[in-house]
Amino acid sequence: MKNKIKKYIREKIIAIYETRFATFFFKQKGFCPCCEQDTLFIARNSWLRDHFKCTNCGCIPRERALMKVIKEYYPNWETLAIHESSPGNRGHSKLLREKAQNYTETQFFGNTNLGDYVNGVRNEDLEQQTFDDAMFDIVVTSDVMEHIYNPEKAFSEIQRTLKSGGAHIFSVPIINKHKATQRWAKKGSDGEPVFLFEPEWHGNPIDSKGSPVTFHWGYDIKDIIKEYTADECEIIYIDDLNYGIRAEYIEIVVQKKNVK
């Protein structure tokens, strides 16, 4: 009963907002892969990538796409060994943290020894990890790979920590599309970014300064990863409103470690 009243009030508020204030409004009923509920997805801004949210859990399209791909590739994901680098507090990260029985989260804190724990989160640099070989079935990153300085090291380190048959499943904005990948920044001698073009920063939950954008990836990311890992790689684009998945730049890349 309480939930029904809540739902009624929420729908009324949305209706008022829709008619009076919103200049853009898009809504869609569907099933959210992150909170695993029937829900209403709503956007009040035409930039769906950041604004088309699940009204139940607040997740955004690329997080739903990532979780959907994880579930499709590994239906038994709850029992698998999963490493997520730089997770957030909602969407797929929240579901993985709650339900995956063997889930390890890491952040790169910079000022602590690699492999140490800070408030239960392990300090790891994707480019030089302290994990043993073949520890994980799945490695997850979500909009992280556009901030790495040395992709060769990061992708091959991830590959090293994957079990055979495992995969790195990740979202990354492929903003260059069919144009070749461009390096956007390199690491200066003081550790700060030296931008080769207009400086670009993305929000970072553990650093108020944000994270510098170091690469503008194109679809050739597939070939680049293959060159570094010698394994196949796939790019998956989902446009499926039944799951609230519609937006620009929500390709999911699956970097496989083939069974040898």
Q: Which residues bind Zn ion (CB under 5 A)?
A: 32, 34-35, 54, 56-57
**Distance separating alpha carbons of residues 202 and 62, to the nearest angstrom:** 16
Specify the residue, 37 or 102, whose C-beta has the smaller distance to Zn ion: 37
Burial profile 166-184: b = 16 or more Cβ within 10 angstroms, e = fewer: bbbbbbbbbebeeeebeeb
Quote the tokens at residue 194.
Answer: 């030296």
Q: How far is CA 206 from CA 31, 89, 124, 203, in A?
A: 30, 12, 14, 9
Cβ of residue 57: shortest distance to Zn ion, in angstroms?
Answer: 3
- CB nearer to Zn ion: pick between 37 and 128: 37
**Residue 242 and residue 20: Cα distance in Å, rounded?**
27
Nearer Cβ to Zn ion (31/149): 31
Report the nearest approach of Zn ion to the CB of residue 70 (Å): 15
The CA dihedral of 189, 179, 73, 165, to the nearest 10 degrees, is -60
Nearer to Zn ion, 32 or 185 (CB): 32
Q: How far apart are CA 106 and CA 118, in angstroms?
A: 9
The residue ranges of DSSP E strands in the chain, in sequence order, are 26-32, 37-43, 53-54, 81-85, 102-107, 117-118, 121-123, 136-142, 162-171, 182-183, 185-187, 193-195, 201-204, 207-212, 215-216, 233-236, 252-256
Residue number, 62 or 222, with CB nearest to Zn ion: 62
Closest separation between CB of residue 115 and Zn ion, Å?
34
Task: Name which of 245 and 252 has its Cβ closer to Zn ion.
Answer: 245
The least CB distance from residue 56 to Zn ion, in Å, is 5
* Shortest CB 124 distance to Zn ion, Å: 28
Give min distance, CB of 11 to Zn ion, in A: 17
